Amino acid sequence: MCGIFGCVLKEGNAAPLIHASLKRLEYRGYDSVGIATASDGKIFLKKDQGKIDEVHKIINLDDLPGSIGIGHTRWATHGAPLKVNSHPHSDCTGEIMVVHNGIIENFMDLKNELENLDHNFVSKTDTEVIPHLIEQTLKENPKLGFVEAVQESLKRLEGSYALAIISTKEPDKIVCARNESPLVLGINGKGVFCASDIPAFLEVTNKAVMINNGELVILSSEGYEIRKIQDFSLINREPITIDWTPEMAVKQGYPHFMIKEIHEQPETLRNTLRIQEHYLDLLSTFLDRANEVFLVACGTSYHACLAASYMFSKLAFLPTYPVYASEFIEQHGKSVNIDSTILAVSQSGETADTIAAVTVAQQRAATILSLTNVIGSTLTRVSRVYIGTQAGPEIGVAATKTFTSQLSVLAQLALKLAKKRGKVSQDEMDSLEENLEKLPDIVDTIINTQEEKIKQIAKKYKNSKVFFFLGRGISTATAFEGRLKLMEIAYIPSIAFPAGESKHGPISLIEEGFPVVFVCPKDDCHKTLIGNIMEMKARGAHIIAIVEEGDQEMKSLADDYVEVPKGIPGVLSPIPFAVPLQLLAYYIALGKGFNPDMPRNLAKSVTVK
């Protein structure tokens, strides 16, 4: 998830506006920044790795000639956050410049083909194939105009993209295009703008034109022209008026980043399903060969590891050991060795406890694998193989979309391992893969159908002094995550444990009206969980149950319940069943007048041990 911007101004230099607009998109990514402008038939380029302010101080991003230009602020997915991988990317001649947000899935095939045609690639990105492809298309069809060459090249791209392209071939134009990644135009009397998001140009206009998938746009001093990529047919679309304040826009109209990021999960889960097969293959091969596997992380990421230990065991018969990173050195520091494999999980990739654990293991020759949402983070640099969870920048301190993205990647790894080890039948494999593909829509349904209900439940219990969160099997991990969300943003003491442990002590706390949240997917633990609910109810607990749609048995036992669409296999259930718990914590915090984005005493990335 990067930020792209482009503009064609009737007068004045474009660079300062591009710079300012990228600043308004910086929440989409801040690994590197770059601007290219066209003036007097030439292209001018400035780019470097680092946050916009840091780079601007060194290379002055405002100092480029020309009233036409494009810009990019990066969230690294392919290729570390280095200058060579920063956008804009160009063709061999430097006469075609491209900025891109999204993932080109067939870039390796295209790159091999173009390299065989003597194209020289300089970066590790997927994006760089685009300017070379346009260059090759023009070489093979010299009669083609630049816009047509772009159109033909786009037809060969697979994956998601929002693009803005300039060239010396037609230096008075910007060509932009969309397939899945967001793209919107801005219009005012002074020019036309294209951007990944409305915040980019809201300071200069609130007249916007939404661009749909499969559409290409030509921006010029005449205005904008929308055409279908497939057949170049013309599309008429009038601007709409946006009634947002710039501040609001960064949150896209949501009151807080946390609720925005909860609502982003259908999209971020789709992104995880586009992760390159060979990364999943590579990492699962290391797990397959491993003698012992430690799943090491902190906080929410640890809960993803806990859930993964059930997935790896149930699907691939691979025993794995989830360990709190802050305890790893004490617990395993002396025994970890060359036969050990560490799968470290960290949204930020910078959590000090996790880095410390990994460093000790590495010093004892263990194999380090990792999952992170920040490509180029410290963790990626100490890992033999790492996978980016593609959730985009998460600004809310409470992790939400990065948790479900971690779980989706871990589930894909478990399925890869199961396939390698032939531990599940083809039918079961097909059904699990089908259900994984359905999860983005299922999460969308939960948000659209249950959010209002969760608001009511939050209202009812917001003044509770304590909560229990319980589950059995893999839902123990979901319950732990629900507990953490409520504690970190609503500051209500909450206890989570495997439901089977209740009668070994914790049930002594139960008294009339004590709220107990149960996570109840229809899996192998369903029957036993009913017994645990009954023993709590018998002592006056109020049961809040996250149940499967139409599960009358559980619904009849619950004082309040939230429904999740039916048919989700148990090993995948933490992904959809976590979402109602995220919303419950958010609305209880809101009901208590707290700012869910800035919880007291916490930081987004804990870089101290």
- As annotated, the active-site residues are 2, 604
What is the spatial distance between Cα 388 and Cα 176, in angstroms, rounded to a whole number? 27
Give least dist CB 372 to ligand AGP, A: 8
Give least dist CB 168 to ligand AGP, A: 44
Give least dist CB 30 to ligand AGP, A: 16
Site string for ligand AGP, 274-303 (x = CB under 6 A): ------------------------xxxx--
The 10 Å Cβ neighbour count of residue 583 is 26
Residue type, 183: L
Q: Which stretch binds ligand AGP (CB under 6 A): 79-87, 397-405, 493-501, 546-554?
A: 397-405
Q: Which stretch binds ligand AGP (CB under 6 A): 17-25, 395-403, 472-480, 532-540?
A: 395-403
Give least dist CB 411 to ligand AGP, A: 18
Site string for ligand AGP, 322-361 (x = CB under 6 A): ------------------------xxx--x--x-------
Q: CB-wise, 59 or 606, nearer to ligand AGP?
A: 606
Site string for ligand AGP, 162-191 (x = CB under 6 A): ------------------------------
Q: CB-wise, 165 or 275, nearer to ligand AGP?
A: 275
Q: CB-wise, 126 or 488, nearer to ligand AGP?
A: 488
Q: What is the DSSP string of 465-481?
A: S-EEEEESTTHHHHHHH
Q: CB-wise, 75 or 193, nearer to ligand AGP?
A: 75
Sign of CA dihedral 90, 91, 93, 97: negative
Q: CB-wise, 344 or 517, nearer to ligand AGP?
A: 344
Give least dist CB 538 to ligand AGP, A: 34
Q: CB-wise, 127 or 400, nearer to ligand AGP?
A: 400
Longest dimension (CA), the chain: 82
Query: Residue 260's closest CA among 30, 351, 268?
Result: 268
Pinpoint the alpha helices (H) of 391-425: 401-421
What is the spatial distance between Cα 501 and Cα 507, in angstroms, rounded to a whole number? 9
Give least dist CB 598 to ligand AGP, A: 12
Give least dist CB 353 to ligand AGP, A: 8
* Pair 471, 478: CB distance under 8 Å: yes
Specify the DSSP element, H or E, that contains 131: helix 129-140
| Residue with the CB atom nearest ligand AGP in the bound state | 299
What is the spatial distance between Cα 120 and Cα 124, in angstroms, rounded to a whole number? 12
User: What residues contact residue 40 under an 8 Å CB cut-off, 6+ apart?
Assistant: 65, 66
The torsion angles phi and psi of 535, rounded to 5 degrees, stand at -65, -30
Q: Which stretch binds ligand AGP (CB under 6 A): 105-113, 199-207, 396-404, 447-455?
A: 396-404
How many Cα atoms occupy the beta-carbon half-sphere of 308 within 13 Å? 34
Q: What is the DSSP string of 325-381?
A: HHHHHHHHTTT--TTEEEEEEESSS--HHHHHHHHHHHHTT-EEEEEESSTTSHHHH
What is the spatial distance between Cα 436 and Cα 413, in angstroms, rounded to a whole number? 12
What is the spatial distance between Cα 98 and Cα 106, in angstroms, rounded to a whole number? 17
Considering only 18, 33, 76, 398, the residue that binds ligand AGP (CB under 6 A) is 398
Residue 605 binding ligand AGP, by CB under 6 A: yes
Look up residue 535 and give its two tokens: 């023993």
Give least dist CB 156 to ligand AGP, A: 37
Site for ligand AGP in 470-489 (CB under 6 A): 488
How many Cα atoms occupy the beta-carbon half-sphere of 259 within 13 Å? 20
- Total binding residues toward ligand AGP, as defined by CB under 6 A: 15
Residues in contact with ligand AGP by the rule CB under 6 A = 298-301, 346-348, 351, 354, 397-399, 488, 605-606
